[in-house]
Amino acid sequence: MRVILPILANFFVVGAALGFGSLFVHLIPKAFSELDRFVLRFLSGFGLLGTILFCVGQVRFSRLAILSVLFLGVFIGFVSQGRGTPVGWPAPKNLRGSAIPAAIVFGVVLLTAVGGLAFPTGDMNNDSISYHYLGPKVWLREGIIRPVPDEVTTYFPAVVETQYGALMAFGGARAPQFFSVVSLATILLIAASLAIRLGLDPSGAWWVAALIASMPAVYHGIYSGFLDALFASFLLAAARVAFDAERRAEYVLFGFFCGFAMGTKYTGILAFPVLVLCAILIALGTRHRPAWLTFKSAAAACVAAIVIASPFYLRNWILYECPLYPPPPALLRFFPLTHPIPNVIQALVKEVRDTGGGMGRGVTAFFLLPLNVTYHTAVFRGAGGIGLVPLALGPFALFAQRLGAFAKGLLLFAALESVSWFLTAQESRYAINIFVISALFGVIGWQYVAGSVSRNARVLAAAAVGISILYGWWMIFPERSEDVHAALSSSYEAKRWHAETACAAGFDFINDEPSVKKVLILDPGVAPFFVDKPYVKPFGVWGERSVPSADTVPDVMAQLPALQVTHVFDRRPKGESFHLPDHPPGLTLVFEREDQRIYRVD
């Protein structure tokens, strides 16, 4: 049961997404292949499902409300099936020459599936524990989608997190972990779709999938709740539609994908104008039609994108005075806050500066990016990099064929996205869409080298591909080995829970002790995701203050009766003392470990 429910919950959400996706089928260009249609249908449905859950969740985010939305999606899917728009499953055809890459992909998918069944562990340094999973858990408990006051990052757009909420509602905490299989499949399918469009044969598309699945920097954005691969999939789907778009309906679909990207991450706002610019340039350069018609279609795409992303930004604007919350300092001039949060904004800006400038900011650093993302991955949290193929073979793609408009569009998009990434936050996960494009051109370059250069070059190219994949596995498999072990062994999972989760014993006490009704968490470093009961956390890691006019622990303790908590959870950070003195008045110590104390409020 501990693994069946998470798997079933994932099937339910994917089924609902495919159902909602059938609403977009008539917007997909008729010339698109079965594979294109399937992946675009799933991604559009997935984006719409997340947006609907978010809108419904503003009023009610109960299991019943979620169930109704999911059933609606499944129902729409059945109706469309009956009307002759069946869910086209992209059956693999012509597998000759694809056995090796297919086996590589299968190995990574299997690893992801088994590892995805492990219970999440970690601390506040893990983005999923600190907010991707925390938000949905609190929304389900409160029965409404509202940002968690002690974690400012839960104000971010939430197309994916709302679906984590749906998964948790029916499959528990393991369900969003298992969703990594869907993330992996999605990015591989959209990459295969692009590969076929670029003229690669099915074997080439499989090799693209194998290389991407073996790229540690891509894989890192797929599992443990990270949503970067899905974000990249939305962008690549937008590019897939935009660079071939002719009818206005196709531009509208392109806009929807941009909107879903903006509803997933704030960085979608940066990618949106880049995609629109590329689409306009391609249309002007290749389509023989008046320029005004192109601009009109692009305007339709912009309207569609803004409309589909608006719920996330309007909610923040209406309830918290700025569409982007927490507001970047430049926006404060236009959206002055009644309740300013300068310390939180400063902390976030500092974090972006500290972690996002890994490769340097100069022109030389920019042109050295291809070398650095291949060889010096640690400086941008590269998780092992992107392998060797993009650098070793990618440049030869330019000689492989006379690049068509679609390929030029992808290259322009990758170049502009690289500039945007370089100037903002240089974190490897944020560049997954660029890495996927680099793998596509890597395989095109490989086919060129293998087919028309020399025998030596053919051997060297095959060695580069082999080294890339083996190195990727060397990075990825040990990283997931503990997850796999935990999924297969309950005793190891219990041991790992205590070893890897700060305050695990304290969480066990709070969750198992019936007298604990509501708990006050004093230390910002404690991860409230692991608390299954209502809680108050007055101090967040970014300097959030969730209890009004309480800036210190004594301030909070003075308001203890008003907070209506039954227990107080104190933790001693490394090298410091507990927040409360020994024997605090009005509290009885009921649980103690070296670095944790839990008091009952008398």
- Give the separation between CA 326 and CA 206, rounded to whole angstroms: 42
Q: What minimum distance in Å lies between the beta carbon of 375 and another protein? A: 5
**What is the pattern of x (binds another protein, CB under 8 A) and - over residues 325-364?**
----------------------------------------
Strands (E) in 46-105, as ranges, are none
The amino acid at residue 197 is R
Give the residue, chosen from 170, 396, 529, 535, that forms a contact with another protein under the rule CB under 8 A.
Answer: 396
Q: Is 385 in the site for another protein (CB under 8 A)?
A: yes
Q: Is 463 in the site for another protein (CB under 8 A)?
A: yes
Q: Is 305 in the site for another protein (CB under 8 A)?
A: no
Burial of 582 (0-12, 13-18, 19+ CB in 10 A): exposed
DSSP class per residue in 388-450: SHHHHHGGGHHHHS---HHHHHHHHHHHHHHHHHHHS---GGGGHHHHHHHHHHHHHHHHHHH
Q: Are 449 and 457 contacting, i.e. CB atoms less than 8 angstroms apart? A: yes
Q: Pick the closer one to another protein by CB: 284 or 463.
A: 463
Quote the distance between the C-alpha of residue 575 and its chain's center. Answer: 34
Q: Are 329 and 345 contacting, i.e. CB atoms less than 8 angstroms apart? A: yes
Give the residue, chosen from 138, 175, 208, 449, that forms a contact with another protein under the rule CB under 8 A.
Answer: 449
Q: Which of residues 540-569 bind another protein (CB under 8 A)?
A: none
Q: What minimum distance in Å lies between the beta carbon of 211 and another protein? A: 15
Q: What minimum distance in Å lies between the beta carbon of 217 and another protein? A: 13
Q: Pick the closer one to another protein by CB: 453 or 488.
A: 453
Q: What minimum distance in Å lies between the beta carbon of 388 and another protein? A: 5
Kindly list the distances between the CA atom of residue 375 and the CA atoms of 386, 387, 440, 476, 501, in Å, as whole numbers in the listed order. Answer: 9, 9, 19, 17, 32
Give the residue, chosen from 392, 434, 476, 486, that forms a contact with another protein under the rule CB under 8 A.
Answer: 392
Give the residue, chosen from 210, 373, 461, 553, that forms a contact with another protein under the rule CB under 8 A.
Answer: 461
Q: What minimum distance in Å lies between the beta carbon of 215 and another protein? A: 13
- Give the separation between CA 21 and CA 87, rounded to whole angstroms: 9
Q: Is 400 in the site for another protein (CB under 8 A)?
A: no
Give the residue, chosen from 22, 214, 267, 374, that forms a contact with another protein under the rule CB under 8 A.
Answer: 374
Give the residue, chosen from 144, 280, 453, 560, that forms a contact with another protein under the rule CB under 8 A.
Answer: 453
CB environment 313-343: b (16+ within 10 A), e (fewer): bebbeeebebbbbbbeeebeeeeebeeebee
> Taking contact as CB under 8 A, which single stretch among the options 119-127, 390-398, 431-439, 499-507 is the one that binds another protein?
390-398
Tokens, residue 156: 């971010």
Q: Is 430 in the site for another protein (CB under 8 A)?
A: no
Q: What minimum distance in Å lies between the beta carbon of 460 and another protein? A: 4
Give the residue, chosen from 375, 490, 498, 586, that forms a contact with another protein under the rule CB under 8 A.
Answer: 375
Q: Is 175 in the site for another protein (CB under 8 A)?
A: no
Tokens, residue 256: 């929807």
Q: Is 393 in the site for another protein (CB under 8 A)?
A: yes
Q: What minimum distance in Å lies between the beta carbon of 352 and another protein? A: 28
Longest dimension (CA), the chain: 82
Q: What minimum distance in Å lies between the beta carbon of 447 and another protein? A: 13
> Taking contact as CB under 8 A, which single stretch among the options 20-28, 100-108, 370-378, 433-441 is the one that binds another protein?
370-378
Tokens, residue 119: 């219970």
**What is the pattern of x (binds another protein, CB under 8 A) and - over residues 469-508?**
--x-------------------------------------
Q: Is 314 in the site for another protein (CB under 8 A)?
A: no
Q: Are 387 and 399 contacting, i.e. CB atoms less than 8 angstroms apart? A: no
Q: Pick the closer one to another protein by CB: 307 or 378.
A: 378
Give the residue, chosen from 273, 285, 342, 395, that forms a contact with another protein under the rule CB under 8 A.
Answer: 395
Q: Is 460 in the site for another protein (CB under 8 A)?
A: yes
Q: Pick the closer one to another protein by CB: 376 or 572.
A: 376
> Taking contact as CB under 8 A, which single stretch among the options 10-18, 134-142, 304-312, 450-458 is the one that binds another protein?
450-458
Q: Is 67 in the site for another protein (CB under 8 A)?
A: no
Q: Are 345 and 153 contacting, i.e. CB atoms less than 8 angstroms apart? A: no
Q: Pick the closer one to another protein by CB: 238 or 392.
A: 392
- Give the separation between CA 112 and CA 106, rounded to whole angstroms: 10
Residues 6+ apart with CB under 8 A from 453: none
Convert 297-348 into a string of H (helix), E (strand) and C (coil): HHHHHHHHHHHHHHHHHHHHHHHHCCCCCCCCHHHHHCCCCCCCCHHHHHHH
Burial of 507 (0-12, 13-18, 19+ CB in 10 A): buried
DSSP class per residue in 537-578: -SB-TTS-B-STT--SHHHHHHTHHHHT-SEEEEE--TTS--
Q: Is 391 in the site for another protein (CB under 8 A)?
A: yes
Q: Are 519 and 526 contacting, i.e. CB atoms less than 8 angstroms apart? A: no
3-state secondary structure of 597: strand
Q: What minimum distance in Å lies between the beta carbon of 398 and another protein? A: 12
Q: Is 467 in the site for another protein (CB under 8 A)?
A: yes
Check the CA dihedral 37-42-45-51 and report its sign.
Answer: negative
Q: What minimum distance in Å lies between the beta carbon of 374 and another protein? A: 7
Q: Is 397 in the site for another protein (CB under 8 A)?
A: no
Q: Pick the closer one to another protein by CB: 376 or 593.
A: 376
Q: Is 456 in the site for another protein (CB under 8 A)?
A: yes
Q: Pick the closer one to another protein by CB: 419 or 463.
A: 463
Tokens, residue 201: 């044969």
Q: What minimum distance in Å lies between the beta carbon of 195 and another protein? A: 21
- Give the separation between CA 72 and CA 477, rounded to whole angstroms: 39
Q: Do strands 567-571 and 596-601 pair parallel, antiparallel, or not at all (unpaired)?
A: antiparallel
Binding site for another protein (CB under 8 A): 374-376, 385, 388, 391-393, 395-396, 449, 453-454, 456-457, 460-461, 463-464, 467, 471
